[in-house]
Homo-oligomer: A and B are copies of this chain.
Amino acid sequence: MQNFDYMTPTRLLFGKGVIEKLPDVMSQFGKKILLTYGGGSIKKLGLYQKVMELLHDYEIIELSGIQPNPKYDPSVLEGVRLCKEHKVDVILSVGGGSVLDCSKAIAAGACYDGDPWDLISYKVKAKAALPIVDILTLAATGSEYDSGCVISRTETNDKIGYLDPLLYPHTSFLDPTYTFTVSRKQTAAGIADAMNHTIEQYFVADSTLLNDGICESMLRSLMANGRKCLENPEDYTARAEMMLDCTYGCNGILSLGNSFSGWPCHGIEHALSAYYDITHGEGLAIITPRWMKHILSAETLPRFVKYGVNVFGIDASLPQMEIAEKAIEETYKFFESIGIPMHLREVGIDESRIDEMAHHVAVNEGLEHAYAPLKEQDIKEILIASL
């Protein structure tokens, strides 16, 4: 078991109607709020109006139009500018993981005098960040309970995961009813995203009995509840269980004491969505089974057997390699069954930039230190198998 240093100070306010506590939570900060959101779905939900009503005695500055795979330019830069100009006290993020990730980068940038990219690219360590409160409308990324954000810079095809303990949200409001109207496509991508977060922490050289059990339960729960969410988008219990499952994805609680996996599928997917701006969860679903197939070996076999037996209930008495291959097939088939396009071509990616992406990943993602080490050629083969 590995040593670790862990803390997640975020308060989770979970359940139907918790938004009524928003004024109480916001009263801990000053009177100037930067309200961040995306394309306007929060207005259709009535959530924007509700927030405005609850916070009528605050000065609210708005930053809207934050896109999926949130962009450094214009969103982060504009948010930082607004915070500085208006001397904002706190950021209120209303939306999914992209809005929240963007808000985290703004929170750090707002307390830094130089170019915020210095922080995101780890050139400079942030000394402070504005407090962040979020109201989540999409179950997927786990950003509501972690200290990271992923920011894309279009002109350089960079998609960087920026982590700092200063970026934990102060409070996350998680009301599953806000996810009732999430589309089939986004619901499925959220399931795939959270499943991959779990898989990235499960396939490691050294894990604990408890972590294995938690990850296996997490995957079973995400598949069972995810299917129910797709069948009946207003199934409160299924939406609630899926929402909380996703929340645990990236703060480390699934792998305390495990050795580090290197998060290889994320490393590869970041290039896909940096170069082509595809939906992150779909990219992960496409990569995951191809990555599994690529790394299956005598050494990794026992892990795949455990995965197959405990997650998919594959008969433990079958030959080990058969269990492993079945497990990978079941992973693929599950993603396909929830409607995810399972080939890169289906999401608009052809072979033309594969060499370039494989090189970018090999240089930037450190996957030669992953659980199953990946060199540029491995990454290229996984990408080609995903076409």
Contact = CB atoms under 8 A, between A and B. Distances in A.
Interface string A200-222: 00000000111011101110110
Contacts of A18: 3, 5
A16 B1 CA distance: 10
Contacts of A240: 1, 208, 257
A1 B241 contact: yes
Contacts of A248: 210
A1 B209 contact: no
A183 interface: no
Interface string A155-186: 00000000000000000000010000000000
A8 B145 CA distance: 12
A358 B24 CA distance: 42
A371 B269 CA distance: 46
Nearest to A217: B213
A260 to B, nearest CB: 14
Contacts of A7: 9-12
A7 B16 CA distance: 18
A6 B253 CA distance: 15
A15 interface: yes
A242 to B, nearest CB: 10
Residue with the greatest number of chain B CB neighbours at <10 A, chosen from A209, A221, A245, A253: A209
A218 B218 CA distance: 14
Contact of A3 (B17, B216, B217, B220): B17
A244 interface: yes
A224 B213 CA distance: 13
Contacts of A210: 217-218, 221, 241, 244-245, 248
A214 B18 CA distance: 25
Contacts of A276: none
Nearest to A216: B213
A140 interface: no
A70 to B, nearest CB: 26
A12 B214 CA distance: 19
A217 B209 contact: yes
A14 interface: yes
A314 to B, nearest CB: 17
A209 B236 contact: no
A13 B7 CA distance: 9
A14 B256 contact: yes
A353 B170 CA distance: 49
A98 interface: no
B1 A236 contact: yes
Contacts of A17: 3
A58 interface: no
A331 to B, nearest CB: 18
A29 interface: no
B241 A208 contact: yes
Contacts of A225: 209
14 contacts: A1-B236, A1-B244, A5-B18, A6-B12, A7-B9, A9-B9, A14-B256, A14-B257, A209-B220, A210-B241, A213-B214, A213-B218, A213-B221, A244-B257
Given A209-B220, A213-B218, 4 more contacts: A1-B241, A3-B17, A209-B221, A209-B225
